[in-house]
Homo-oligomer: A and B are copies of this chain.
């Protein structure tokens, strides 16, 4: 970690390592970190993991909050290359979402196209939230995705 604090240049994964160490040391949650930099928890975690690019002022806010070295800022701002190693995820918590896409994918497509015409939900102009919903039969996880509808053009 010390080396990363003083290195000339940081890769995105170096910034992630510094963030995780600081989060642990300061006892912060993702939710509180997100609130302090004025962003949502989903986006904040994802950007800290190197799967989204920080706007400069948010990178600076995070660096200030967590005492990151200055070199972390350009690393956080850089466009990431999004790579996932498992075609089918094995972790049960992630697999269930893969299963939902397998089971309900054609349904999502049919209803989107019934409502909007031929096109897709953007995964780029996109946001998402995770919320706990109290329920007497057991609390529920609510995941809300919102993406701009993009219609196919014909030419």
- Count this chain's copies in the assembly: 10
For the complex with contacts A51-B104, A100-B145, 8 further pairs of A-B residues with Cβ separation under 8 Å are: A46-B107, A83-B90, A92-B124, A94-B101, A97-B121, A108-B130, A141-B147, A141-B148
Is A140 an interface position by the 8 A CB rule?
A: yes
Please state if A141 and B146 are interface contacts (CB–CB under 8 Å): yes
What is A's interface to B at a CB cutoff of 8 Å?
9, 21, 24, 29-31, 39-43, 45-47, 49, 51-55, 58, 79-84, 86-128, 130, 132-133, 135, 137-155
List of B residues within 8 angstroms of A54 by Cβ? 154
Q: Could you list 15 examples of A-B contacts with CB < 8 Å? A: A30-B114, A39-B154, A42-B104, A79-B109, A81-B106, A82-B91, A89-B101, A94-B101, A95-B99, A96-B123, A97-B121, A116-B132, A124-B150, A141-B147, A143-B144
